[in-house]
Structure 1
Amino acid sequence: MTLDVYDDYQVIETLRSHERQMSLYSSGSNTKVKVSKHEANDQGLSEAVDIAPKDNMWDESPDMLMRYAVMFGRMDSIFNLMKEWNTGVTIPDNCYLRWGRDWDRDGEYNDQTFNDYPHVELIYKDK
């Protein structure tokens, strides 16, 4: 399979109200937390996005998992380049992206108790 099939993604959700978060949490959906990075921060912005391959976002086949991995790898690379280059966007050095398939950012996917493949969020910590 060539990489060109990995190029069509869709944004599912970004900013989410607390009421919606609680509704998702209460409904037994894939949401596992009562407070989410999708909710507005102090500046009124979301620090999370759900983004997925456009054709079939809930498929967990090896091919689809590879598509998610490629998607996150591209997002992480662009994010890190934006931190390094003078893009006009100020990103703190301790700010990183975290993917819902690698919550502890160790590069190991089999040590997670919960996978949220479409989820990508900003985290602030020492690497």
Structure 2
Amino acid sequence: MYSFSSNSYEELMTCHRDWMVICLELINFIDFSIFEGHRGEYAQNKAVADGKSELRWPLSKHNQYPSMAIDMGPYFAELKNTDWNDLSAFAAFAGAVLVTAKRLYIAGDITHQVIWGGDWDSDGRTLDHKFRDYPHFELTEENVWNL
């Protein structure tokens, strides 16, 4: 069983309850890091300037409190870090997040569905988007899973 670093846990505590439920379930099976939950005005506008977001403050779901968005990705013990160049690892991780979230939603344990920044329209294709944000996930009230 894996556990969160203090940084990951602190970021998780800035997020919506549904993210807490999803992440606490997922950490039982996959080692991962939470990079960012809530983002203030300076951090949001810096993310835009750095090309990591397209939405200026206060339009990102990261800007709500608690945060409806979370940035996270796989952690590799042998690297003692995330491999930011391993997009396949991010996609595999996203699959685990989405399956976990869907199972918890169907069970009634969470109230929102989840969108991944690598597949904004949830159609299973990643190359049909000009902006791909592989660590990014959002809670949504939309019926993206066609349930």
The structure that is helix-richer by fraction is 2
CA distance in 1, matches of 2:84, 2:110: 34
Tell me the residue number matched to 2:127: 110
Q: Rate the CA distance shift 1:69–1:28 in 2: closer, same or farther, 3 A.
A: closer
User: Could you tell me how far 1:30 is from its partner in structure 2?
Assistant: 1.5
Number of aligned residue pairs = 109
Q: Which moved more, 1:48-57 or 1:8-17?
A: 48-57
Specify the alignment match of 1:3 in structure 2. Answer: none
Aligned pair partner of 2:99 in 56, 77, 83: 77
Mapped to 2, the partners of 1:110 and 1:81 lie a distance apart of 26
CA–CA separation in structure 2 for the residues paired with 1:29 and 1:96: 26
Q: Kindly state the Cα deviation for residue 52 of structure 1 after the two structures are TM-superposed.
A: 1.6
TM-score, structure 2 normalization: 0.65
Instruction: Describe the shift of the 1:106–1:90 C-alpha distance in structure 2 as closer, same or farther (beyond 3 A).
Output: closer
Identity, in percent, stands at 28
Q: Deviations along 1:3-49, whole A, 9 cap, x unmatched?
A: xxx94321100011123212322x33322111211111xxx310111
Pick one of 84, 90, 106 that aligns with 1:58: 84
Q: How much does 1:104 deviate?
A: 1.1
Within the candidate set 45, 60, 73, 1:36 is matched to 60
Give the letter aligned to residue 17 of structure 1: G
Give the alignment's TM-score, normalised by structure 1: 0.74
Task: State the partner residue of 1:123.
Answer: 140
- Bigger Cα Rg: 1
The runs of 5 or more residues in structure 1 that have no matched partner are 1-5
Q: 1:58 to 1:38 in 2, by over 3 A?
A: same
